[in-house]
Amino acid sequence: MQLKMTKQDLTEFLADVFDQVADDFTVEDLAPNYARIRLNVGEKHLRPGGTVSGPSMFALADCAVYMAVLAMIGPKALAVTTNASMDFMRKPAANTDLIAETRILKLGKRLAVGDVLIFSEGLDKPVAHSTMTYSIPD
Amino acid sequence: MQLKMTKQDLTEFLADVFDQVADDFTVEDLAPNYARIRLNVGEKHLRPGGTVSGPSMFALADCAVYMAVLAMIGPKALAVTTNASMDFMRKPAANTDLIAETRILKLGKRLAVGDVLIFSEGLDKPVAHSTMTYSIPD
Amino acid sequence: MQLKMTKQDLTEFLADVFDQVADDFTVEDLAPNYARIRLNVGEKHLRPGGTVSGPSMFALADCAVYMAVLAMIGPKALAVTTNASMDFMRKPAANTDLIAETRILKLGKRLAVGDVLIFSEGLDKPVAHSTMTYSIPD
Amino acid sequence: MQLKMTKQDLTEFLADVFDQVADDFTVEDLAPNYARIRLNVGEKHLRPGGTVSGPSMFALADCAVYMAVLAMIGPKALAVTTNASMDFMRKPAANTDLIAETRILKLGKRLAVGDVLIFSEGLDKPVAHSTMTYSIPD
């Protein structure tokens, strides 16, 4: 199955539909069933000490799977998250962007499942892992 | 086991330690192994159409279990979330506060597990369910 | 919404469709959006020391939500588990039946979500907690 | 970090400690933070129609992460599963062994997290995905 949207398509779609968070995310790379999404870490994502907050990591994982799914099915679908699981494994590096390596594990008619590893940019070991399920409307 | 913190203790602790989000949450009720926490929904929590965003619900569940655990073990502990699972079941009502009904299922020496049902205020059916695990430092 | 199956209906359905495991489970109580299911613990469910194995607890949670959903939608549906999360919180009592207290949190057209607390019979504190999502065919 | 156990060590350890299920599993490959474990599918793992049951997939994921962790920390540790999440994505092929591709994502002092993709042998697309957390005793 091939991509139905380019990086630019996705970026414009995000700006259009979720303008209040679109600046938080950058689509870095895109391939069939794959996306690499950056969280442009700013003041609002941080906890005292400069570490990225849990909800910000959740938002990144959620957005990353959403982008990867939309790239495959096109911009018209109003997909919604139905299930999320996250493991927080290490403290993110202070004041450092996060990178979400995202794979689509299943792209069915009704459900899509994606898997995300989140890294502090430049570091080897993942800070978090997430699995997200999206329900795809008819 | 009894509470080690009152509603006011918790509120002050949150304001002290997480001042950038403390205004988002209100401790409504507290009992041993139980907390009811309100998300004071504002512009930043909303998606187009007025519905509360997924990351805002995650933040509420995370904070609710954190508060319920701290109330039992006291303010000195630096507990961190290690695992979270969430089911998003219904669309929250537009521009309406969310209420997190929170139970502690386990309070061990190393791990605490809490269970949260999230409701749009005034409605019967939960919009989301979450289970959170916190690691408790030695 | 009312029950479409009785305890006896469910028991007969389970014996009919899953005869190799039907003897493992007993439907103890049934109400709208609620079921209490017993795992009749035998040799095959045990680990050394007499504790019930993780896969046996998974099987109980899976079956309990399945039964609770079928009781609401009737026996014709071929529902399948799409997602499961489990927290194992305490060691089950040795050689003791397990009881699954099961609530349906959502019963949609396409997805049903159930929540299970598992207890060693006669004890107060849950040994495990699970959330299960079932996909309901058209 | 290097392996502390070989394939043969692990196989013998499993036979020793979990003799009632040891024949179900074969350690196919082992490397630092990696294991490939086979479920030798037999009658008891099947549902009507020949498909592998959910609890059998759970047992495989659980055992696979356990093996991968033990290989890194050695046989003396009495690790227990504290959290599991599973996505069931496709129906397994009838009467076919399952292969668990297992990675250790985190190996901390207290918690280990592993990630498993389960395949029907010979097929490209995963039938299930799981994340497991083990608590490691002091």
Distance CA A33, CA A26 (A): 17
Residues of chain C found within 8 Å of residue B106, distances taken between Cβ atoms: 87, 89-90, 125-126
pLDDT per position as a tens digit, C36-52: 999 999 988 988 778 89
Which tens digit of pLDDT belongs to each residue from D34-60? 999 999 999 889 887 788 999 999 999
Tallying the residues shown for chain B, one arrives at: 138
Q: Is the pLDDT of residue D76 over 80?
A: no
B129 vs C contacts (CB less than 8 Å): 105, 113, 115, 131
Across the A/B interface, how many CB contacts are shorter than 8 Å? 62
Closest-CA residue to C58 (of C85, C27, C18): C85
Task: Enter the tokens of residue A137.
Answer: 């409307």
- In CATH, what class is D7-135? alpha beta
ipTM: 0.94
Q: Give the pLDDT score at B86.
A: 98
Q: A78 CA to chain C: closest CA distance, Å?
A: 16
- In B, which residues are within 8 Å of D82 by CB distance? 111, 133
Predicted confidence at residue D77, as pLDDT, reads 65
Q: Which of D80, D106, D109, D110 to mutate to test the interface with B (most CBs of B within 10 A)?
A: D110
Contacts with B135 from chain D: Cβ below 8 Å: 110-111
Q: What is the rounded distance in angstroms from the CA atom of residue D89 to the CA atom of residue D119?
A: 11
pLDDT one-digit tens code per residue, A13-62: 999 888 878 899 999 999 999 999 999 999 889 887 788 999 999 999 99
B133-137, D91-95, D101-105: range with highest mean pLDDT: D101-105
Residues of D in contact with A90 (CB under 8 A): 106
Which residue of D23, D63, D87 to mutate against C (max C Cβ within 10 Å)? Answer: D87
Distance from the Cα of A53 to chain B's closest Cα (Å) equals: 9
Helix axes D54-73, D7-17, angle to 10 degrees: 120
Q: Which two tokens stand for residue C48?
A: 């050394």
Interface residues from chain D to B (CB-CB < 8 Å)? 82-83, 85, 110-111, 133, 135
Q: Hey, what are C36's tokens? A: 């209490």
According to the model, what pLDDT value does residue D18 have?
Answer: 82
CA separation for the pair B87, C118 (Å, rounded): 19
- From C1, C137, C138, select the one nearest C68 (Cα to Cα): C1
How close, in Å, is residue C115 to chain D by CA atoms? 14
Contact A54 B62 (CB under 8 A): yes
Kindly list the partner chains of chain D, i.e. chains with 3 or more CB atom pairs below 8 Å.
A, B, C
Mean pLDDT of A75-80: 79
Residue A138 has pLDDT above 80, yes or no: no
Average pLDDT over residues B34-61: 93
Q: How would you classify residue D16: left for phi > 0, otherwise alpha for psi between -120 and 50, otherwise beta?
A: alpha
Distance from CA of A89 to the nearest CA of D (A): 6
Residue-wise pLDDT for D106-133, tens only, equals: 999 999 999 999 999 999 999 999 999 9
